[in-house]
């Protein structure tokens, strides 16, 4: 490694207040500041920032007013035109924080690959608002952050050819040496390579903003470049920004999806992409086989969904599983996908998932999102059709974990359950049929009885409602206090409460009415029932149950209810009500008034003065 080898940091910045901090962070944390240079495309009306940048000897600047901005792809293209004699480039965003020794460590990683056409790229960890407020040389930034493995989720609903990608965070010790693995997917905001890559493959300025990463990943690959993901990250990225969004695409620009379609040439029209075409070292088909992504069929392999691009054993068996994988992908696109969220504090996920799959009519149409305290191998993920795994411990937060798993849902149907539940024959077919009877804005819930009670009728809704922790004395509920024989009903029965055991609904319902991660297990039932109702979602109990539980309900409980938030949402407590009025993210809905929910349950809490909570 030569200390004189220069690094050019390429930054496309659109009126970003963190730009100068990003530059200063890179300089402060670098071992050799003399080799650090910047190529910046500044799109801003901030004269002070412009003045400071012009005063920096190691900054090359391309400037335009923010109203003249032409998108991030054009800005990155201008940055790449500023390359001179640097050996390395580091393409980043303008809202980053570096860790100590980043320059030495990143060059060491790249050179260790012994690949003259290598790059290192992945989504870095999030830089929180609290971290942004820290001094740039704070001890928080002394050590590397967790890196990760890029993977692909699904094809975009709105854009035909774009694929949603993510990054599995490294869970191994950062005390170990970095491990780099080949990966076809890239992050445009964290891309380190040799400078020759951006002399050979430049960003397409005809694209605007959204979706540039996949076209660039394909073009890099077809030009013979190889991307790697690392277990270590030397940079943090601020993902949540309020006021620095790029302006809407001007009408003169084609949609990014249209431009991407021209690059892929799936219709055989051979559109002239000029210097922004695919390379000739490898083909698009080569990329599709390597990445597991088929753009024409809009399919993604299971290995790609978990980022398993280097599993050589899987590649040897590819011919054996290819038909099965393609069948699953075709069915997912043509039929009704059910994603099952399983919370597993019992180390029982294997038996639970096997039952789910074996008892289903269309098991190839089922994907699993799992939170468990057990280690799940990649082989198990493939065999058990597990799309996402989150590791939990004994102190896990049920609602926080549930909220995170819901964020990975596709446009499908979703079942939320736990690993103590046993499924009966044809559970999937039956519940889909029942939910369709209820309509789009609906959810099915089912109180999961112990085995032996499975064929018994519900004696009364009062007996169910009184089980809610902390609310025994506030649930007389005459409207639902009656015997309802399961076998006497032909249609789902409307009820005001969700069960803590099972909830089956459209995934868009869970995305629209987000689970509050701040709540505990028991209070979630109460609050989410109320919030679903006020958001216009009807809750139904099915005509029969296809589940039973093997463990006590109490084993899942996670803490005592937060009565302050509960009473605020119920319209009782002034202190918390003021907090909610000021903008509580997980407030009640506006589709129905709160009073209508009281009418539905047959009881008005606000009239019980003893319930007032200070």
581 CB-near residues (< 8 Å, 6+ apart): none
| Structural domain spans, the chain | 7-257, 335-558
Beta-bridge partners for 442: 538
* Segment of 94-98, 436-440, 492-496 carrying the highest mean pLDDT: 94-98
CA dihedral 569, 573, 577, 580 (to 10 degrees): -50
Using CB atoms within 10 Å of the CB of residue 559, give its burial: 0 to 12 exposed, 13 to 18 middle, 19+ buried.
middle
Q: What is the pLDDT of residue 30?
A: 97
Rounded to whole angstroms, the Cα distance separating 22 from 508 reads 37
pLDDT at position 318 is 55
Whether 335-558 and 7-257 are alike in CATH topology: the answer is yes
Residues 33, 395: Cα–Cα separation, whole Å: 44
Radius of gyration over every alpha carbon of the chain, rounded to an integer in angstroms: 27
For residue range 561-572, list pLDDT tens digits in order. Answer: 444 444 444 444
Q: Is the per-residue pLDDT at 234 higher than 80?
A: yes
The burial class, CB within 10 Å (0-12 / 13-18 / 19+), for 405 is buried
Output the DSSP codes for 205-234.
Answer: TTS-STT-HHHHHHHHHHTT-EEEEESEES
Res 9 pLDDT > 80: yes
pLDDT digits (tens, 9 = 90+) for 329-358: 555 554 578 999 998 887 888 988 999 999
- The angle at the Cα of 364, spanning 358 to 365, to the nearest 5 degrees, equals 110
**Phi/psi-derived region of residue 571, left when phi > 0, alpha when psi is between -120 and 50, beta in every other case:** left
- Count how many Cα atoms sit within 13 Å of the Cα of residue 347 in the half-sphere of its side chain: 5
Cβ atoms within 10 A of the Cβ of 34, count?
A: 10
What is the Cα–Cα distance from 93 to 11, expressed in whole angstroms?
Answer: 6
- Model pLDDT, residue 321: 60
Place of tokens 């996949």: 214
Work out the average pLDDT over 268-283. 88
Residue 534, pLDDT score: 87
Alpha helices, DSSP H only, in 30-71? 47-54
Q: Is 275 helix (H, G, I), strand (E, B) or coil?
A: helix
Structure tokens at 113: 């690959």
Residues 6+ apart with CB under 8 A from 335: 362, 365
Give, in words, the CATH class of 7-257: alpha beta
Distance CA(294)–CA(297), nearest Å, equals 6
How far apart are alpha carbons 271 and 268 in whole angstroms? Answer: 8
Tell me, what DSSP letter sits at residue 409?
Answer: -
The tokens 């390429």 sit on which residue? 10
Q: Look at residue 137 in the predicted model and tell me its pLDDT.
A: 95
* Chain segment 44-58, per-residue pLDDT in tens: 999 999 999 999 999
Which pLDDT value is given to residue 605?
52
Q: What percent of the chain has pLDDT over 70?
A: 76
CA pair distance 489, 411, nearest whole angstrom: 30
Residue 485 has a pLDDT of 39
Mean pLDDT computed over 392-403: 86
The residue that leads in pLDDT, 222 or 211, is 222
Provide mean pLDDT across the span 363-384.
91
Instruction: Give every CB contact of residue 14 below 8 A, 6+ residues apart in sequence.
Output: 43, 44, 66, 69, 72, 75, 94, 244, 246
Say which CATH architecture domain 335-558 belongs to: Alpha-Beta Complex (3.90)
More confident residue, 266 or 402: 402
What gap in Å lies between CA 462 and CA 441, rounded to an integer?
A: 25
């Amino acid at each position: 490694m030569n200390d004189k080898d220069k690094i050019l940091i390429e930054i496309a910045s659109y009126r970003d207040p963190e730009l100068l901090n990003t530059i200063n962070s890179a300089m402060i944390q670098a071992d050799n500041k003399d080799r650090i240079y910047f190529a910046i495309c500044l799109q801003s009306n901030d004269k002070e920032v412009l003045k400071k940048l012009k005063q920096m000897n190691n900054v090359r600047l391309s400037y335009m007013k923010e109203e003249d901005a032409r998108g991030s792809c054009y800005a990155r293209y201008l940055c790449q035109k500023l390359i001179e004699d640097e050996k390395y480039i580091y393409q980043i965003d303008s809202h980053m924080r570096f860790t100590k020794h980043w320059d030495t460590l990143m060059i060491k990683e790249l050179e260790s690959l012994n690949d003259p056409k290598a790059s290192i790229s992945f989504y870095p960890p999030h830089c929180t608002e609290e971290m942004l407020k820290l001094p740039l040389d704070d001890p928080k930034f002394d050590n590397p952050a967790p890196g990760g493995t890029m993977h692909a989720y699904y094809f975009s609903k709105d854009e035909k050819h774009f694929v949603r990608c993510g990054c599995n965070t490294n869970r191994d010790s950062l005390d170990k040496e970095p491990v780099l693995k080949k990966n076809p997917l890239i992050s445009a905001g964290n891309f380190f390579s040799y400078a020759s890559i951006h002399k050979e493959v430049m960003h397409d300025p005809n694209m605007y903003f959204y979706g540039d990463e996949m076209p660039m990943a394909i073009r890099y690959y077809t030009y013979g470049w190889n991307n790697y993901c690392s277990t270590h990250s030397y940079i943090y990225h601020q993902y949540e920004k309020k006021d620095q969004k790029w302006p809407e695409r001007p009408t003169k620009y084609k949609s990014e999806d249209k431009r991407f379609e021209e690059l892929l040439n799936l219709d055989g029209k051979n559109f002239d992409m000029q210097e922004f075409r695919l390379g000739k070292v490898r083909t698009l088909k080569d990329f599709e086989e390597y990445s597991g992504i088929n753009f024409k069929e809009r399919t993604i392999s299971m290995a790609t969904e978990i980022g398993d691009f280097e599993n050589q054993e899987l590649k040897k068996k590819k011919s054996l599983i290819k038909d099965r994988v393609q069948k699953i992908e075709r069915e997912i696109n043509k039929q009704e996908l059910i994603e099952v969220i399983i919370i597993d504090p019992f180390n029982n996920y294997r038996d639970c998932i096997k039952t789910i799959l074996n008892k289903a009519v269309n098991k190839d149409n089922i994907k699993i999102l799992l939170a468990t305290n057990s280690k799940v191998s990649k082989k198990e993920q493939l065999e058990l059709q597990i799309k996402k795994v989150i590791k939990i411990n004994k102190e896990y937060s049920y609602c926080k974990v549930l909220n995170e798993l819901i964020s990975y849902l596709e446009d499908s149907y979703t079942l939320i359950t736990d690993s103590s539940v046993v499924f009966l024959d044809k559970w999937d077919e039956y519940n889909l049929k029942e939910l369709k009877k209820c309509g789009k804005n609906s959810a099915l819930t089912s109180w999961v009885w112990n085995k032996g009670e499975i064929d018994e009728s519900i004696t009364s809704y009062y007996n169910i409602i009184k089980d809610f922790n902390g609310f025994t004395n506030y649930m007389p509920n005459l409207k639902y206090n009656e015997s309802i024989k399961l076998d006497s009903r032909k249609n789902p029965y409307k009820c005001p409460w969700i069960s803590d055991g099972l909830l089956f609904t459209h995934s868009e319902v869970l995305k629209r009415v987000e689970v509050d991660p701040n709540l505990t297990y028991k209070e979630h039932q109460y609050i989410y029932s109320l919030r679903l109702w006020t958001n216009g979602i009807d809750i139904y109990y099915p005509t029969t149950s296809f589940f039973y539980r093997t463990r006590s309900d109490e084993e899942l409980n996670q803490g005592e209810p937060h009565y302050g938030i509960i009473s605020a949402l119920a319209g009782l407590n002034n202190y918390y009500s003021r907090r909610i009025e000021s903008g509580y993210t997980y407030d009640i809905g506006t589709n129905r008034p709160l009073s209508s929910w009281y009418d539905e349950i047959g009881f008005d809490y606000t009239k019980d003065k003893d319930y007032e909570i200070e």
